[in-house]
Copies of this chain bind each other. A is one copy, B any other.
Amino acid sequence: MKDNNDMPGHLARRFQQIAVAVFLAEVEDAGFDLTPVQYAALATIKANPGLDQVTLAGLIAYDRTTITGVIDRLVQKGLAERRASSRDRRARELEITDEGRRTLRKITPAVESAQRILLRGLSAKEGEDLMRLLRKAIAAGNDLSRAPLRETPV
């Protein structure tokens, strides 16, 4: 029988498991307490000031029910703010705070270090290849998850 550990689905789970562990370790070493998910959300808020939650979720492929809790924690840590939108009373506009900006700036080396560690078993070319193939497989499967990546709409 084929080894279950060799199936693409299992490799996907393992790779993600290691990626999260490495990220958290590097970030903690740098003296911060931020998850990969929180980091991506914060960086995307900074790059798109005033965006609403659904747009944010689409830009980083999070489920809209997940993003609520993530933003809750960013707000609670004082890194982001959630305001009512003036144009659409259903929507909340998101902004990064000065503290959030400071954190992003200081945390960047740790985040980049994590990415290097994640690929440390591969040569530079192999790392490039892996990322290219992952991007291609992901693009083909984008709409298969409930939270697909959405190019900036609007």
Contacts and interface: CB of A to CB of B under 8 A. Distances in A.
A30 interface: no
A153 interface: no
Interface string A1-39: 100111111111111111111110100000000001100
Contacts of A119: 8, 137
A12 B9 contact: no
Contact of A18 (B1, B10, B141): B141
A75 interface: no
A149 B118 contact: no
Given A4-B43, A22-B141, A115-B8, A17 B126 contact: no
A67 interface: no
A141 B117 contact: yes
B25 A13 contact: no
B61 A131 contact: no
A141 B126 contact: no
